[in-house]
Structure formats: structure tokens, C-alpha cells
Amino acid sequence: KYIVVRKAGGNSATIFFLHSFNCLLETFGELEAFSSVMGIERPRMNLIDLKQNGKVVETIDKDTPDNIMLQGRFKSGALVNYELRSAAQFPGEPGVRWTIQGDKGEVLVTCPSGMFDINHEGVKIQFHDMSKDSAETIDLPSDSLADLKHPAQNVGRLYEAYAKGESDSYCDWKLALRRHELIEEMFQRGDGSKPFGEKASYVTKDGSSSGSSTGASSGSIQGSQAEVDADAQGSILADREVKPKEITREAGSGNTQTTVEALEAEGFGASSGKNDLSRNGGNRDLAS
């Protein structure tokens, strides 16, 4: 029950997202810029009692995200496109699919479990040298803990690193705080009046084309240019780093800076505020 109630602290953002996204941060470094969506696709959840053959004993209004998307750029310059959905995986498909695209090759990591940092049983790493027509499988190195069941393997490695003073091999409280500051920033961005990012300006209220020019509009990335290619699968690859001259983000009343005070003034996160999403329901962003 706690995982769908935000005030409990544990949810898909703080657990599943943070575990998996931390692997990307450990690989590429901290984020320089990002935009994110934290959506609630199923706002009401049934609580069942397994001792009563799955009988529904309570229906809960959920205020935690079940679909999380993040796009951005690391300080290293690498771009990131991340998506997490809280649902059963498609039959026959892995729980996680991670691709790393480079200039000369591409790495593909797949794992049956979505929490591959805890349970990496069945993980597969492949490398495609773009000068060749096939990919090769990369075998993980073995150690004295490799025969243990999961998650004992990584827990054992953590204990060994701690005993040896190898502090770079695990998170400390300082890093944990930084990770939760990222989560809090994502929640704050999602607690505004724009449930799924900035409003699309190329269409009018009646859904027709606005007929506007290709110039940048207010509240968007201004003066930015990037060349993109679409591959056969439809994914977009940027081959030039986007360096925006100015990025402005509006709070609910049109302020150009979003702060905790500004959000509270607009009633975001207040149980009785006009923007309290526990009252208006639906697929909107989250109340704090």
C-alpha cells in the first residue's frame, strides 16, 4: 500500500527509478540539464488480500507516478533518453533494455529483471562494432561471490568494499542526499500547472495549426539548433550538441522562476489548494 502513497516515501520514483538511473549517473556523471514527466496513468488502485483469494478489500487514490520519463544531457556531453513504466513487461521481452551509442559502436545491455543492479541474473551485454555486420557478447568477469544467489552477490561485494575502505565502490550519505535532491526536483517540476511539460505552441485551442513561424517562442529553448537523424526504428539521434542561449520556465502564475515559495503560493502540494490533484483526479502531475 505504501508504494502508491507519496507521503510514505517509497514509490516507483524513489525506488525503481532511482536504483536504475543511478547506474547511468555512475557511468556518465551528473546531469547538466534535463526535462522530465512523472505521470499517473492509473490513479486508483485496488488493494487485494491474498489470504482471501485476491479479494479486493480497499481502493486507493494513488498520488505517486507509474510512468517516468526523463530526457537531458550529462555534464560529460552525452545525451540521455530514459523511460520507466510500472507494469508487467511484455511477454518475451527483457525487463530492462539499455543502449549506449558511440561514434564507432553501440553497447546493448538487457536483463530479465528491471532492477538489474540488484538481480542481474540473466543479464546480457553485447557490443556492435559498426565496421562489422554482427554483434559480440561480452562476458562478465567472475569472482568468489559469483555462485551465490541474487541479491547476495552484490550485497557481499558491498560488504567487501566497505571492509577494504573502497569508498568509491558504494554510495555514502552525501551521494544518497544528492540522488534524493534529484527526485525532489523532479517532483517539484511535476507539481506545477503543466502536467506533461511545456504547452505545445504550434496548435491553437481548437487543435488547428497555429501557423506560427519556426522561430523560438516564449518559454522555450531559444536560439538552439540541432541536426537529427531518424533510424529505421524511429529513434532520434542528435549529432550536434544543443547549446541553448536561454531557457525560461514558468510557474503557475507566469513567474519565470520556480521556487518552493512560488509553488506554495499557487497552492501546489496543499491538501486544500486549487491545484490539489488528489481532488481533481485523472492523469495529471503529482501533488506533494
Q: What is the DSSP string of 218-265?
A: TTS-BS----EEE-TT--EEESS----SB-----TTS-SS--HHHHHH
Task: Name the amino acid, one letter, at 273.
Answer: G
Res 180: pLDDT:
94
Q: Does residue 157 contact residue 145 with C-beta atoms inside 8 Å?
A: yes
Please give the domain boundaries of the chain with CATH numbers for all domains.
Answer: 1-87 (3.30.360.10), 94-166 (no CATH)
Q: Which of 22-31, 217-226, 249-258 has the highest mean pLDDT?
A: 22-31
pLDDT at 285 over 80: no
Pairing relationship of beta strands 96-101 and 55-61 according to DSSP bridges: unpaired
For 40, the 3-state DSSP assignment is: coil
Residue 253 has φ and ψ, to the nearest 5°, of -95, 5
Q: Considering only 6-15, 86-95, 194-203, 235-244, which range has the smallest mean pLDDT? A: 235-244
What's 122's DSSP letter?
T
Residues 6+ apart with CB under 8 A from 178: none
Which positions ≥6 away from 207 have C-beta within 8 Å? none
**Enclosing H/E stretch for 155:** helix 152-163
Over residues 275-279, the mean pLDDT reads 38
In the sheet with 135-138, reading across from the earlier edge strand, the strands are 96-101, 105-111, 124-129, 135-138
Q: Band the pLDDT of 207: cuts 50, 70, 90.
A: low
Torsion of CA 192, 197, 201, 203, to 10 degrees: -110
Task: Give the pLDDT confidence of 150-194 residue by residue, as tens digits.
Answer: 889 989 999 999 999 998 888 899 999 999 999 999 988 876 444
Stretch among 61-65, 67-71, 127-131, 249-253 having the lowest mean pLDDT = 249-253
Mean confidence (pLDDT) of the chain: 76
pLDDT at 283: 35
Q: Contacts for 166-172 with beta carbons within 8 Å, 24 or more apart?
A: 171/22
d(CA 197, CA 38): 10
Alpha carbon 288 to its chain centroid, in Å, reads: 18
Summarised one tens digit per residue, pLDDT across range 59-118 is: 999 989 999 999 999 999 999 999 999 888 899 999 999 999 999 999 999 999 888 888
Q: Which residues pair with 49 in a beta bridge?
A: 55
